[in-house]
């Protein structure tokens, strides 16, 4: 069958400046973060349109889509691309009665920091474990979990909200 709601949430972290990030790693972030969302939409958008009874697609971007950080160029670029792709697809699907919401979480306590690759100059590599621990501690102290994102997604789908920042800081930038 065809689902009523599709949630595309693809994301790997990548920290490091553009000049320090190998091209293949930059491309990998784009392939996963943007490509995963695009492929999810390819798998379901046509089916939702052809069914003719509406439906909703939720694409998870990030506040990083509109909050540039020099130390996260690959990640921010990938999430900005998800944001724009979602805007374009929303315009295309609207006439068919298929909604699309772009979710832009801020600092959410998940494992993204522990799995983020850090590409830094040789002389700064010894600082990575300490910096990672510091950011993980900040995310945990923030105590804003995925359950709050899920609640925001459900509310946004019910209201057919085009873009939904999630967490206070996602509204501030």
The set of catalytic residues is: 75
Question: Which residues are bridge partners to 117 per DSSP?
Answer: 14
Nearest by Cα to 15 from 107, 114, 84:
114
Print burial letters for 58-75: b (CB count within 10 Å at least 16), e (below 16): bbbbbbbbbbeeebbbbb
Beta carbons of 70 and 21 less than 8 angstroms apart? no
Beta carbons of 68 and 51 less than 8 angstroms apart? no
Using alpha carbons, list the distances in angstroms from residue 101 to 38, 40, 133, 147, 157: 14, 14, 33, 17, 7
């Amino acid at each position: 069958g065809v689902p009523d709601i599709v949630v595309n949430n693809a994301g790997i972290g990548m920290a490091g400046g553009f000049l320090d990030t190998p091209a293949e790693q930059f491309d990998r972030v784009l392939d996963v973060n943007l490509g995963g969302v695009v492929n999810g939409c390819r798998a379901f958008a046509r089916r939702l349109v052809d069914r003719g009874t509406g439906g909703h697609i939720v694409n998870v971007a990030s506040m990083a889509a509109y909050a540039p950080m020099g130390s996260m160029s690959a990640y921010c670029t990938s999430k900005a691309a998800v944001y724009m792709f979602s805007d374009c697809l929303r315009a295309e699907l609207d006439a068919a009665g298929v909604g699309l919401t772009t979710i832009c979480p801020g600092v959410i306590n998940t494992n993204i920091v522990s799995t983020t690759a850090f590409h830094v100059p040789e002389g700064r590599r010894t600082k990575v474990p300490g910096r990672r621990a510091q950011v993980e501690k900040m995310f945990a102290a923030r105590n804003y979990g995925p359950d709050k994102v899920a609640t925001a997604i459900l509310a946004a789908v019910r209201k057919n909200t085009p873009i939904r920042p999630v967490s206070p800081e996602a509204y501030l930038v």
